[in-house]
Amino acid sequence: MPAVVLGTDAFLSLAKATSAKHGLPHMPVALVPHPLGGIAAETARAKADAILDEVLRGLTTAPATPAATAAAGPTLVEAPDDLDGLQGWAMEHEWSDGLPVLPPTEARVAKILGRRAGDELVATLMPLDGRATLHAIAVNAALAGAGPEHLPVIVAALRAVAKPEFNLNAIQCTTHPCTPLVIVNGPIATRLGVAGGPNALGNGHRANAVIGRAVRLVLQNVGGARPGREDRATLGHPGKFTYCLAENEAQSPWEPLSVERGFGRDESTVTVCGSEGPHNVNDHGSTTGETLMAAIAGTAATTGSNNIYLAGDPLVILGPEHAQTIASSGWSKAEFKRRFWDAARVPLRKFSAANIERFRLTHPERFQGAGADTLLPFAGKPEDVMVIVAGGPGKHSAIVPTFGATRSVTERIER
Amino acid sequence: MKLWSPFSGGQAKVGRLAPRKPSLAGLTIGVLDNGKPNAGVLLHRVAELLAARTGAAGVRGWSKPSAARPAEILDDIAKDAHVVLTGSAD
């Protein structure tokens, strides 16, 4: 059936990428000036007049069918020899994330691949439906500065983000600031030096840096989410350079995330979440789980969060000292989740009338009949709240909200 | 120096668009609202103006709950409308 896509001019690149992915790069698109959201309905209606002719033409006139381009396999290209010259070249050719890259030479890529078959397909990545073969992953790992030992973690993370419940297409293309957070569990974390202790989400750890960065470069280069084009993030966040940590299993009073999800303590896993940056929870005073909850729940229950209206499975990262305080109150991890889910709520009255009207329209099952005093939880149900223990000494924890319309995925790391 | 490209082939196939209609007279114009703010307002306005100008039989609307999820109602739309307008973006 003839169709025309209407969009705003700021989003043309996303509309084009989406139609090209479906094999229809010539799909007619009619553009109105951005934005459509946050303006009066009358103003939105007024934008219709200017595109009538274009829409009618799109429904009644067939555009020329463009020629198919050949699918590219692994390609060698000529690049500047000197490392400084390479950096500008890599930006021009859209290979880089902005930080310096190391050259993916034949020798370095071969070393990362080892005896693995480069043509093995690990995942197909949205929005481009790009083929993440082991070779393509190794090339991006080489750019990121990763070594062969990091490849199994990177591969498992990419297998995880490609699972339908992760909703990668939306994570890659949304205006919301989210990116896969890679959580490593099990013995491989110690073996590779993936930090879960002091400054685990900060600088100073090569494994955290290169694993997260390689995953992100694959998503950009193979998945085809180029910043400001298919990746429509309004602001993004610094974790889009790299976002990886280990759970601090040694200092957790509870079972690790991987064990909670059915894996053995001797197995290594990655868990990916479509995450915002961490929001800090500072509490130096409380000495029980009950009293600490005010700071933790208060940090989560905010009006600007996607999780409040889309639910999902947001993450609580408890610093080891906060975790000990909670456990010494006799709470299991499940008990903490239940209490957190009860406490981390926002009353509907805190939202603007226009936002409430929009929620009722887009999510009637949650908002039809909800009154001003209805309390909106931060996750769909207590079990959906994710909890890990990470970090070093100190009285800080973090709330990591998600995109909402996404589910975390845990995958075993194969050696 | 020679470097491996970090890109990997995506979809190379080019499909055919549905045959266009010579005119919209007597046809039903479908609207698929993707749930973005004001998307339905713009789409319906365009559809109504088009119907008035071309003598289309009428406008029928569908909506999907979230732009973040694929539509599951495409077969219904194909059954009940002759052409469709849909949207992308904020």
Task: For A23-43, write each residue's pLDDT tens digit.
Answer: 888 888 888 888 888 888 888
Is the pLDDT confidence value at A47 over 90? no
The pLDDT score that the predictor gives to residue A38 is 83
pLDDT class of A379 with cuts at 50, 70, 90: very high
Strand (E) or helix (H) holding A347: strand A345-347
- B20 with A60: CB under 8 angstroms? yes
Residue B36 — φ and ψ, nearest 5°? -75, 150
Rg, Å, chain A Cα set:
23
The pLDDT score that the predictor gives to residue B69 is 76
Is the pLDDT confidence value at A67 over 80? no
The pLDDT score that the predictor gives to residue A70 is 59
Average pLDDT, chain A: 94
For residues A108 and A106, give the distance between their C-alpha atoms in angstroms, rounded to a whole number: 6
The pLDDT score that the predictor gives to residue A13 is 80
- A273 with A388: CB under 8 angstroms? no
For residues A160 and A183, give the distance between their C-alpha atoms in angstroms, rounded to a whole number: 11
Is the pLDDT confidence value at B67 over 80? no
Number of neighbours of residue A148 by Cβ within 10 angstroms:
15
User: Angle at the Cα of A407 (from A403 to A408), degrees rounded to 5?
Assistant: 105
pLDDT class of B10 with cuts at 50, 70, 90: low
Nearest CA-CA distance, residue B57 and chain A, Å:
15
- A226 with A243: CB under 8 angstroms? no
The pLDDT score that the predictor gives to residue B89 is 66
For residues A354 and A259, give the distance between their C-alpha atoms in angstroms, rounded to a whole number: 43
- The letter for the amino acid at A285 is G
The pLDDT score that the predictor gives to residue A290 is 98
DSSP A273-320: EEE---EEEE-SS--SHHHHHHHHHHHH--TT-HHHHH----EEEE-H
Average pLDDT, stretch A308-337? 97
As given in the structure block, the two tokens for residue A241 are: 């350079």
- Among the partner-chain residues B9, B21, B36, the one whose CB lies closest to the CB of A72 is B9
The pLDDT score that the predictor gives to residue A102 is 98
Nearest residue to A171 (alpha-carbon basis) of A42, A59, A274? A274
For residues A272 and A161, give the distance between their C-alpha atoms in angstroms, rounded to a whole number: 7
- A175-185 b/e (C-beta count within 10 Å ≥ 16 → b): bbbbbbbbbbb
Is the pLDDT confidence value at A145 over 90? yes
The pLDDT score that the predictor gives to residue A281 is 98
Is the pLDDT confidence value at A357 over 60? yes
Average pLDDT, stretch A229-233? 95
Nearest CA-CA distance, residue A25 and chain B, Å:
7
Is some CB atom of chain B closer than 8 A to the CB atom of A121? no
Strand (E) or helix (H) holding A366: helix A364-367
The pLDDT score that the predictor gives to residue A7 is 86
pLDDT class of A171 with cuts at 50, 70, 90: very high
Nearest residue to A200 (alpha-carbon basis) of A235, A151, A149, A251? A251
Which residues of chain B make contact with A132, given a CB cutoff of 8 A?
A: 8
For residues A49 and A404, give the distance between their C-alpha atoms in angstroms, rounded to a whole number: 35
Is some CB atom of chain B closer than 8 A to the CB atom of A60? yes
Which residues of chain B make contact with A51, given a CB cutoff of 8 A?
A: 46
Average pLDDT, stretch A352-372? 88
Give the C-alpha distances (Å, rounded to integers) separating B61 from A36, A139, B30, B50, B57: 19, 47, 6, 14, 14
- Among the partner-chain residues B66, B88, B90, the one whose CB lies closest to the CB of A5 is B88
In A, residues 337-366, which contact B (CB 8 Å cutoff)? 358, 361-363
pLDDT class of A302 with cuts at 50, 70, 90: very high
Which residues of chain A make contact with B41, given a CB cutoff of 8 A?
A: 41, 44-45
As given in the structure block, the two tokens for residue A140 are: 């991006």
Average pLDDT, stretch A349-353? 95
For residues A119 and A135, give the distance between their C-alpha atoms in angstroms, rounded to a whole number: 6
Which residues of chain B make contact with A24, given a CB cutoff of 8 A?
A: 14-15, 17
pLDDT in tens, A241-261: 999 999 999 999 999 999 999
Question: What stretches of A222-288 show up as alpha helix (H) in DSSP?
Answer: 257-260
Is the pLDDT confidence value at B11 over 60? no
pLDDT in tens, B70-89: 778 888 999 999 999 998 66
pLDDT class of B12 with cuts at 50, 70, 90: low
Is the pLDDT confidence value at A79 over 60? yes
pLDDT class of A14 with cuts at 50, 70, 90: confident
Q: Do A63 and B23 touch (CB under 8 A)?
A: no
Domain boundaries, chain A: 5-60, 91-246, 272-404
Strand-pair category, A315-318 with A279-282: unpaired
The pLDDT score that the predictor gives to residue A205 is 98
* 3-class state of residue A340 by DSSP: helix
**Distance of alpha carbon A95 from the chain centroid:** 20
Query: Which residue of chain B comes nearest to A105, CA vs CA?
Result: B3
Number of neighbours of residue A149 by Cβ within 10 angstroms:
15
As given in the structure block, the two tokens for residue A352 are: 């603007």
Please report where in the chains the tokens 């491989």 appear, as a residue: A188
Q: Which range, of A328-337, A380-389, B6-15, B29-38, averages the lowest pLDDT?
A: B6-15
Average pLDDT, stretch A35-54? 86
For residues A149 and A66, give the distance between their C-alpha atoms in angstroms, rounded to a whole number: 43
Nearest residue to B42 (alpha-carbon basis) of A48, A378, A223? A48
Complex-level ipTM: 0.91
Nearest residue to B34 (alpha-carbon basis) of B79, B68, B77, B84? B68
pLDDT class of A160 with cuts at 50, 70, 90: very high
Is some CB atom of chain B closer than 8 A to the CB atom of A64? no
Nearest residue to A303 (alpha-carbon basis) of A252, A346, A362, A272? A346
Q: What is the torsional sign of CA B20, B24, B29, B32? A: positive
- B51 with B19: CB under 8 angstroms? no
For residues B2 and A79, give the distance between their C-alpha atoms in angstroms, rounded to a whole number: 6
As given in the structure block, the two tokens for residue A360 are: 């009722």
Q: Write the DSSP symbol of residue B55.
A: T
The pLDDT score that the predictor gives to residue A54 is 87
